[in-house]
Structure 1
Amino acid sequence: MRIQSSIEAKLKALEPAFLQVENESHRHAVPPNSETHFKVTLVSARFEGMMPVKRHQQVYAALADELAGPVHALALHLYTPSEWEAGGQSRPDSPDCRGGGR
């Protein structure tokens, strides 16, 4: 199974109202077709009343195998449904890669 597919499948356990997993590896100094850098946008009612660090910990726990191996970077944008609606259903763009000699 591809890493992106594995991430998507595991994050479904958090009962997302919205889930988007983007492979941003091509924006970094890695070989073609790499799956090392990801951006996750996840909206879940399970995050209600939860501080951001606790939300991140839930995602890290779900993706422990990927983070211990092939995934080098994981940008997390985690929202409750009301936060997502209030924010216009958008998340920040990722910064350009500044490493790897590019």
Structure 2
Amino acid sequence: MTVINDEWELTEDSLRGRGKISYYEIGADRLTETGNAPYKGELYDWPIQIGQKINFDYQLFVEAFRQALEHFADRYQPAVDVAILEASIDKGSEFDKQKHE
């Protein structure tokens, strides 16, 4: 296991979050999923999902997510599309800001 920051770590086959009230685990083979509506096929699911969670620091997630994408690059399909990644992180950040309003 590799600790990335105060909330996130890499396990043998996942990115695991240790939030304030629960933990979250994202399988290495699922990092670039785009299946959730209303952004199906357009944005990566995980930045948006974590952006909506109250028990995680979003910036710590983004740091960990980027490291996980690099670390597990041979474990997921499709490969990272940088434009989709940045748009997904931006959208997740919008949700995160709404939590603090």
- What's the TM-score, normalizing by structure 1? 0.33
Instruction: Give the strand-richer structure, 1 or 2.
Output: 1
Which one has a bigger Cα radius of gyration? Answer: 1
- What's the TM-score, normalizing by structure 2? 0.33
